[in-house]
Amino acid sequence: MEFAAFADRAERLEAESADLATTAGVADLLSAADDLATVTRFLLGRVFPAHDTRTLDVGPASCHEAIARAAGPNVTAEDVETRLADRGEIGAVAAGFDFGGQRGLSAFAGGRKPLTVAELDRSLRELAAVEGAGSESTKVDSLFGLFNRCEPAEAKVLARLVLGEMRIGVGEGTVRDAIAEAFLVADGGAGGGDDSVNDGSDDDSVNDGEKNGSDAVALVERALQVTNDYGHVAVLARRAGEEGLRAEGLEVGRPVQAMLAQAGTASDAVESFGEVAVETKFDGARVQIHYVPGGGCGGAGDDGAHEDAAFGPRLYSRNMDDVTDALPEIVEFVASRVDVPVILDGEIVAVDDEGSPLPFQEVLRRFRRKHDVDRMRETIPCRLHAFDCLYADGDELLDEPLSTRHERLVEVLPDAAADVRTTTDIEAVESIEADALEAGHEGVMLKDPESAYTPGDRGREWLKRKPAVETLDAVVVGAEWGEGRRAELFGTFLLAVRSDETAVATGTGPTGTNGTNVAADGPDGYATIGKVATGLTDEALADLTERLEPHVVSESGAELRLRPEVVIEVGYEEIQTSPSYGSGFALRFPRFVGVREDKSAAEADSVERVARLAESE
Ligand code: AMP
C-alpha cells in the first residue's frame, strides 16, 4: 500500500466522529491492506508490537530538526517549535510545510518516488536499530530523507508516528472490533478474507467467518491478550479466521499482559467464590519470567517451533519492559532451580539483611537500573515471590484453574512459590491478613481457586482486600443471652451510636413514616446500628456480662435492654444503609475488638461519623 493512500485513509478516519463509522472505516482499510500487520500497527501509532522492547527512540527535538531541514533552508527547529506552540500538535505543523522545494536536492531528483507503507516500516525499523555515538544525527538524517518525500497528509502521519501519537480517534478497542468485523463477522466490512491480497503469509485460505459480532470480538481480544500484537492478530484473523485465533497460544519469550485485581472484601470473596484462595499481597513490583533452559530440554510449544530456542531467564515488568539486566540475582535464582520451559508470574520484593520486606520504593530503585547493578544488588537485595504459572514444560495453563496452576508452580519452583491457603471463613482470612501484615507485607489477595488466568483483565476473580477500615466506638444498648455452654453469659450485643441534634438536623438520622426521628429504638440520644456476636472469646463474654449486668433496664425473653454506659470498639467489613436499625445504617460483619474503658457513652461515635465513613467507602 502506498503511504499516501494510508495517510488519506487516516485523514478520513480523523474527520469521522461516529464510532460505528470509524470501526467500519478501519475494517475497510484492513480488508484492503496488503501490508496488513504494518497498517494495523501504524493505525495505533506503533512501529513495533507492545511486547517488543524496541523503540524508535526519537525525541521531539530530533523530529523538529528533521522537519525543519526538510522544510527548507529558511526554516529552523525553533520555527517548528513556534508553530507547534500555536497549533498544539506536531501533525498539523508538519502538514503545514511544503517539503517539495527540497525534493530537487534529494536522491530522487527528477521524479518523486512514492513511499510505501512497507518501505516506511523498514526505514523506521532500521532507524530504531541505530545505536552509539552519533546515532542521534544519523536518525535525524534518515527522518529528513523520509519527510523529504512526503506530501502534507503523509508528513502529518509520519510526524505523529515518529512521536507515537496518531490522534485519529482510532483506539485499541476500535482496531479490535474492526479486525473482527473485517475478517470474522459474516457480511462485515469487506466480507472477510480477500484472496487477492498478500499479507506476507504463504497461506491464502480465507477465514471461516460466520461468527456473530460479540463472539468474534471476544476471540480477537483473547488472541490480543496472549500475543500483544495487533498486527499479528489481524494477519492471523485474515489468514486462518476463527480457528487460527483460537489456536493462538502463549510463546515463551513473548510477554503477555498481567492479570489484574479489583478491590474487594473478604465477604465479597466468600459470597462469590465459596472457597477463597488467600495469598500474601507482596509489596513490590510485578514481574513475568520467561525461561527455556538449555541442555536439550525441548521447545516452548507442542509444535516444536522453538526446539532450539533455549535462553536464559528473561524478566518483564508489568508494562512488558525487559528488566532482566537489572535483577541478576533473580535471573541466577531461576536459572539454578527451574529445569523446564516456563512462564511465571510474581512479585519482586526488596529485602533487608534479615530477609524482611522493605517498602515498595526500594524495589523501584532496582527495577529499571542500567548502571551500578552489582553495587545495588549488594545494597538492596531482591527476592522473588512467584504466585502463578502460565506455562510449564509444554503445557499452556491459562485456562486451567488457579489451583492447578499453583500446583505446577510448586512443582517447577518450590523455593519461591507463594503459599496459598484455602478457606470459607472470613475470620480465617482476617487472621491470615494479620500474619501477612505482621511479617511486613501489604495485606492479602483473595482469589477464586477455580478461575482461569485472563491476561490484561481486571476482573472479579482476583480481589485485593481493602485495607482494614476504621473501627467504630459504639455503645452497647442491648444484649441477648447466649446458648448452650454460654447460656449463663450475654452472647449478642446490640450496638448504637450517638444520634444528637446535628445528625437529625443534617438529615443523616433516619426519619419515620410520620416524619419523626426513630432513634427511639435505642435509649434517648442513641440510634442502633447492628448486633455483634463474633470476635468474642469466653473470657471477653464473661467480662462484658459482668460489666453490663448492672445496667439492665428490662428483660423480655432472651433479650435485654441496657442503659447506655459501656462503649466497645467494633470492626466491620462495610457500612450499608439499612432500614433495619434506627441509625439508618447497618454494619456488615461486625466484630468485637475490645472494650473502650477510657470512653464514656457521650464520647462514642455519632451517626454523623457513620454517614461520613459510609460515604468514603
Ligand atoms: P494494586 O497494584 O494495588 O492494584 O494490586 C495488584 C498488584 O499486587 C499486582 O499487580 C501485583 O503486582 C501485586 N501482588 C502482590 N502479591 C500478589 C499476589 N499474591 N497475587 C497477585 N498480585 C500480587
Q: Using one digit for the tens of pLDDT, what is the confidence trace for 233-268? A: 999 999 999 999 999 999 999 999 899 999 888 988
Residue 391: name the closest of 255, 261, 277, 232 by CA: 255
Give 442 Cα–ligand 1 centroid separation in angstroms.
9
Q: How confident is the model at residue 369 (pLDDT cuts 50, 70, 90)?
A: confident
Q: Is the CB of 338 under 6 A from ligand 1?
A: no
Which of 256, 276, 282, 451 has most ligand 1 atoms within 8 Å of CB, for mutation? 282
Burial class (CB in 10 A: 0-12, 13-18, 19+), 251: buried
Q: CATH code for 260-465?
A: 3.30.470.30
Give the residue-averaged pLDDT of 281-308. Answer: 69
Q: Give the pLDDT of residue 469.
A: 65
Atom 11 of ligand 1, nearest CA residue: 286
Which CATH class for the 471-616 domain?
A: mainly beta
Atom 4 of ligand 1, nearest CA residue: 261
Distance CA 215, CA 221 (A): 10
Whether the per-residue pLDDT at 110 is higher than 60: the answer is no
211 annotated binding-site participant: no
Q: CATH code for 52-163?
A: 1.10.3260.10
pLDDT tens digits along 382-408? 999 999 999 999 999 999 999 999 999
Q: How confident is the model at residue 148 (pLDDT cuts 50, 70, 90)?
A: very high
Atom 12 of ligand 1, nearest CA residue: 286
Q: Is the CB of 286 under 6 A from ligand 1?
A: yes
Give 444 Cα–ligand 1 centroid separation in angstroms.
9
Q: Which three cell numbers stand for residue 16?
A: 469521522
pLDDT above 90: percentage of residues in the chain = 69
Query: How far is C-alpha 408 from the chain's CA centre?
Result: 24
The most confident of 105-119, 231-245, 291-305, 356-370, by mean pLDDT: 231-245
Whether the per-residue pLDDT at 194 is higher than 50: the answer is no
- Spell out the residues 6+ positions from residue 193 whose beta carbon is closer than 8 angstroms to its own: 183, 206, 207, 209, 238, 241
279 annotated binding-site participant: yes
Q: How confident is the model at residue 193 (pLDDT cuts 50, 70, 90)?
A: very low
Q: Is the CB of 445 under 6 A from ligand 1?
A: yes
Residue predicted with more confidence, 200 or 474? 474
Distance CA 324, CA 327 (A): 6
Give 443 Cα–ligand 1 centroid separation in angstroms.
10
Q: Give the pLDDT of residue 207.
A: 47
Q: Which of these ranges, 94-103, 165-174, 438-447, 544-553, has the smallest mean pLDDT?
A: 94-103
Give 245 Cα–ligand 1 centroid separation in angstroms.
29
387 annotated binding-site participant: yes
458 annotated binding-site participant: yes
Buried b (16+ CB within 10 A) or exposed e, 54-82: eebebeeebbbbbbbbbbeeebebebbee
Q: How confident is the model at residue 414 (pLDDT cuts 50, 70, 90)?
A: very high
Residue 258 alpha carbon, nearest atom of ligand 1: 10
Whether the per-residue pLDDT at 187 is higher than 60: the answer is no
Q: How confident is the model at residue 561 (pLDDT cuts 50, 70, 90)?
A: very high
Q: Is the CB of 367 under 6 A from ligand 1?
A: no
Q: Give the pLDDT of residue 466.
A: 65
Pairing type for strands 552-556 and 559-562 reads antiparallel
Atom 23 of ligand 1, nearest CA residue: 281
- Known active-site residue 281: yes
Question: For the whole model, what pTM was predicted?
Answer: 0.70
Q: Is the CB of 363 under 6 A from ligand 1?
A: no
pLDDT tens digits along 171-180? 999 999 999 9
Task: List the chain domain ranges.
Answer: 1-45+168-249, 52-163, 260-465, 471-616
Distance CA 397, CA 453 (A): 8
pLDDT tens digits along 36-51? 999 999 999 999 998 8
- Spell out the residues 6+ positions from residue 479 whose beta carbon is closer than 8 angstroms to its own: 490, 491, 492, 493, 494, 548, 559, 560, 562
Q: Map residue 521 onto helix, strand or coil.
A: helix
Residue 183: name the closest of 147, 227, 219, 157 by CA: 219
> Which listed residue (281, 447, 531, 599) is catalytic?
281
Q: Which amino acid, one-letter code, is at 9?
A: R
pLDDT tens digits along 493-545? 999 999 974 444 333 444 433 333 333 478 889 999 999 998 888 899 999 99
Q: Is the CB of 447 under 6 A from ligand 1?
A: no
Residue predicted with more confidence, 302 or 526? 526
Q: What length is written for the chain? A: 617
Q: Is the CB of 112 under 6 A from ligand 1?
A: no
Q: Is the CB of 261 under 6 A from ligand 1?
A: yes
Give the residue-averaged pLDDT of 262-286. Answer: 93
The most confident of 192-206, 359-373, 533-547, by mean pLDDT: 533-547
Q: Give the pLDDT of residue 616.
A: 75
Atom 17 of ligand 1, nearest CA residue: 281
Residue 412: name the closest of 308, 350, 335 by CA: 335
Whether the per-residue pLDDT at 361 is higher than 90: the answer is no
Residue 447 alpha carbon, nearest atom of ligand 1: 20
Buried b (16+ CB within 10 A) or exposed e, 398-417: bebbbbebbbbbbebbeebb
pLDDT tens digits along 207-216? 444 457 789 9
